[in-house]
Amino acid sequence: MSFSDLKKQSRLGSLTSKLVAEVEKTNVKSNGSDERLWKPSLDKSGNGYAVIRFLPAPESEDIPWAKVYSHAFQGPGGWYIENSLTTIGQKDPVSEHNRDLWNSGNEADKDTVRKQKRKLSYYSNIYVVKDSTNPENEGRVFLFKYGKKIHDKVLAAMQPEFEDETPINPFDFWEGADFKLKIRKLDGYWNYDKSEFDSVAPLLDDDDALEAIWKKQYSLAEFTSPTSFKSYEDLERRLNQVLRVQQRRVVADESYEDESEGRGSITADFNSSDIIPSAPVVESKNEDEDDALSYFQKLAEA
């Protein structure tokens, strides 16, 4: 799709309908420290504020986000930190192991399943409009990894609940809107509830500048390419290694507000030296427990 086609589809509103159709699909098709990734920061008051703009799908791609499931937990034999093959619609050894535990009828096994459940992440290209903590990021294109709570705000903008609200495509250069990312720290977690979209406005008034930004975007297809995932056999081998001796404390990333955002897992810059021996597993607040139970119930019925 050319840049002129992108602008034409913006006027027709057809991009929004494509995104809504993608959201409604029931089956949707690791990351070391990555300088392409932008992450917000807290200021001295313990709050965070930044303004970002979600960008359209990169050239030759249709969807402006990639959806990835992963597992991150520590077992007796070490850490299991892997993307889940369920991301690309394939069987995954952790999901199968969790299904067996869930079907045992043992509540302790179900607790283990909850600790080992899938974590959901999204990746999108963004343009950083304002980043007071790190102003050198302003005016640059990054990848942004975010969780279900922020993604829900994106979907709510596209599919508002009330008739007096006008749907927008947050990923549109011309008819989209800046996203004001507001972070508060509540009970040790980063909370994004106050984040919101600004009024609809073009990102820039210069189409040449917009096209230059578009051409700087990163491919999202790599995140869901089968070649980016380990084989079932390799994952099963690693899982068998992990499920052996005494568990230790999970090193949590407080920037995620709950397990749907990745809290309780190991982040991309995980270092094995961060493991703290002989401490109990720390469970994170889980506001998505109903989703987890539903997921494992479906596994049990499979």
Determine the residue type at 189: Y
Phi-psi region at 193: left, alpha or beta (left = phi > 0; alpha = psi -120 to 50): alpha
What was the pLDDT predicted at 300? Answer: 52
**Contact present, 296 and 117 (Cβ < 8 Å):** yes
Architecture of domain 1-302: Alpha-Beta Complex (3.90)
SS3 at position 168: coil
SS3 at position 218: coil
**Contact present, 98 and 296 (Cβ < 8 Å):** yes
As to burial, measured by CB atoms within 10 angstroms (0-12 exposed, 13-18 middle, 19+ buried), residue 168 is: middle
| pTM score, whole prediction | 0.74
Q: Report domain extents, the chain.
A: 1-302
Pairing of strands 37-38, 141-146: parallel
Phi-psi region at 23: left, alpha or beta (left = phi > 0; alpha = psi -120 to 50): alpha
Length of the chain (residues): 302
Provide DSSP, 115-153.
HH--EEEEEEEEEEEE-SSSGGGTT-EEEEEE-HHHHHH
**Contact present, 178 and 149 (Cβ < 8 Å):** no
**Contact present, 114 and 102 (Cβ < 8 Å):** no
What was the pLDDT predicted at 12? Answer: 66
Interacting residues of 203 by C-beta distance below 8 A, sequence separation 6+: 53, 127, 173, 174, 176, 178, 210, 213
What was the pLDDT predicted at 194? Answer: 95
**Contact present, 51 and 181 (Cβ < 8 Å):** yes
Report the run of H or E that residue 98 belongs to, with start and end: helix 93-102
- The greatest distance separating any two alpha carbons of the chain, rounded to the nearest whole angstrom, comes to 61
What was the pLDDT predicted at 197? Answer: 97
**Contact present, 300 and 99 (Cβ < 8 Å):** yes
Residues of the chain with pLDDT under 50: 24-32, 245-252, 256-293
Distance CA 261, CA 182 (A): 15
What was the pLDDT predicted at 250? Answer: 44
State how far Cα 237 lies from the chain centre: 26
Q: Which of 101, 110, 96 is nearest to 236 (CA)?
A: 96
